[in-house]
Structure 1
Amino acid sequence: MARPAPAVEKALKIIDLLVTHRGEQFTISDLARRTGSSLGSAHAVLAVLEQTGYLSRHPTRKTYGLGPALVSAGMAALEQHPAIRAAADQIPKLAAELNADVVVTAATPAEIVFVAVGGPGSRYGPGFREGERVPLVPPLGLVFMAWAHPLEVEAWLGRARVAPEPDRVRLALAAVRERGYALGLALGGGRDRAQESASLRDDYDLPTVEATRSYDLGMASAPVFDADGRVLVAITASGFSPGLAGREVLDIGERVRACATVVTKQTRGRLPL
């Protein structure tokens, strides 16, 4: 395992904070408090980020915001990941059709990153921001794990707060592959608490959906594939009104899958056989 680099971690936390709070600027005290750094270490990191153009500092208010160097970095990243741009172009239409929040997410080895957000903002939605991250911990991330290498799935399961039953995991992943999309129930108690309490044990992932039964759907998520049939990003819709009929749930899933399929084809991806 690579040795941690505290200064790098602090720099990335600062950048992530500013990305998720677009248009806002923060004092050094605010940044230190929000990222859990001391004033001294925050000052040293900010000095380097400002000098290299990744952050800019207001001359009179002494606040920090994103710098111009990140613009070229972001544009270069989009060129390398055209599926993100294509998906971002598609999600406003899907959000309007479903009257829901729709986001584009990408997976790192341990997190899910929200890279694009679309939609009017449903009052039932979780309200994620671009740049925000959540842990890639079961049952979150089923849409990424359904087509992942077994070693990736094993690492994902190893981060579970409650060890899932192997047969239940296989059922969940098989259901996602068969449908072409993942489903998740809405969970109360606030966004963070809901993420902590979600479990495959309580059928959060809806392995089966009955057409006439009522469901409080939390999300529907479908993958965008690359040329090798690997999941690049996912398109996820959320913020639905409670009490949807099963047939409505399945229709939502199919609409999200269709949107993701359009992006896969636009970017010359390959749907797995």
Structure 2
Amino acid sequence: MTTKVDPAESQRQGISPPTERVVAVVELLGANPDGQFTLAEICRRLQISRATGHVILTTLAAHDWVTRDPVTAAYSWGPAIASLANPTDTHRCRDDLQALAAATGTQVHLSRRQGQTLVIDQTAGNCSTGPRIGPGLRTPLVAPFGREYVAWAAPDVQRAWLEAIGQPSPALRRRMTSILREIRTRGFAVERLTTEYLRVYTALRALTGDGEVDAITAQLARAFADLTVIDVLPDELGAKASHNVAIISAPITDATGAVTMSVTAAVFTTVDSARIRMLGQQVSRTAHNIEARIAGYPPAAP
């Protein structure tokens, strides 16, 4: 691996010194896919200036070739470049999405994790009661959003996700602990439809246009978490209970068991408890079928 960029060595015909610096950064992080490096460490190891290192890493982060930890500000190997080595043809899942949209009468979409954001890969169907959602739309992976991505993660990962918005209140911490446990049990997350949700969600999508989760994004997410009831617990799903539901999402895991994508049904209406359970099961079944399709196994029978 290249651990030093020597400008004199790069003066050969056809060689671009700025490009070699980018390659050196990628090689450093790629050789340590589970490690994290601060900007100072990267610049010291590669003997490049801090200004140059900052420009390179900011650009790579914008394209999800590297990820920046919002707590430590350290950089690590990003999902976008990792996917180049193991590409996933999600267009093979088009039939699954269309079948789910037809069965649920909703718009559905397939999202992919890219660093600290979730990016919609493709959609199917329509939702007459909610906003039209298109491919490429980004939302931040910051608490309380993206619960289906962290519900199966290690406790320290869940804690970092929750505390990235600041120290949560004891009540919010208890609620999120119960919610993540319930998502692991039932297999899907439920987002309540409220005025606050619509306003905050719209603002968060705009703030995450560059792929970064900054302090403003974190504070807005925290305000939302403190002001609304997150998800739905079993004792709230009474036989006669009805709930205003925005979306229902289920995780898709890769070969290592990590959640890398999700399937979502955009409901945006009032539904009863039985309907929530049915939609959750349909979304979860589609997520499992996509997992099997990507892995090369036949999907389960409906």
Q: TM-score range by the shorter chain?
A: 0.5 to 0.7
CA RMSD, 1 decimal: 3.2
Distance 2:289 2:95 in 1: 11
Aligned residues: 209
Aligned partners of 1:181 and 1:257 also within 8 Å: yes
Post-superposition CA distance 1:142-179 (Å, at most 9, x none): 00000123332222112226725332221010010000
Which one-letter code corresponds to 2:272 in the other structure?
A
Distance 2:180 2:86 in 1: 31
Aligned partners of 2:112 and 2:118 also within 8 Å: yes
Post-superposition CA distance 1:12-67 (Å, at most 9, x none): 86x89xxxxxxxxxxxxxxxxxxxxxxxxxxxxxxxxxxxxxxxxxxxxxxxxxxx
Quick check: 1:152 aligned with 2:178? no
**Could you state the TM-score of these two structures normalised by the residue count of structure 2?**
0.60
Match of 2:211 in 1: none
Could you list the runs of 4 or more consecutive aligned residues of structure 1 that deviate by over 4 angstroms after TM superposition?
6-13, 76-79, 194-197
Quick check: 1:138 aligned with 2:143? yes
Distance 2:136 2:196 in 1: 23
Question: Following TM superposition, by how much is the alpha carbon of 1:190 offset from its aligned partner in structure 2, in angstroms?
Answer: 7.0
Distance 2:183 2:254 in 1: 18
For structure 1, list consecutive stretches of 5 or more residues without a partner in the other structure: 17-72
Distance 1:164 1:269 in 2: 44
**Structure 1 residues 1-273: aligned runs within 5 Å:** 1-2=38-39, 5-6=54-55, 9=58, 77=84, 80-82=87-89, 84-120=90-126, 122-160=127-165, 163-165=168-170, 166-188=173-195, 191-194=198-201, 196=220, 198-199=224-225, 202-208=228-234, 209-241=237-269, 243-268=270-295
Which one-letter code corresponds to 2:131 in the other structure?
P
Aligned partners of 2:88 and 2:294 also within 8 Å: no
For residue 204 of structure 1, give the secondary structure of its aligned residue in structure 2: coil
Distance 2:84 2:271 in 1: 38
Q: Rg larger in 1 or in 2?
A: 2
Q: Identity over the aligned pairs, expressed in percent? A: 23
Aligned partners of 1:157 and 1:164 also within 8 Å: no
Post-superposition CA distance 1:99-136 (Å, at most 9, x none): 1111111223321111112212x132232321121111
Post-superposition CA distance 1:177-223 (Å, at most 9, x none): 00011111112257342464542773321122223111111111111
Aligned partners of 2:117 and 2:140 also within 8 Å: yes
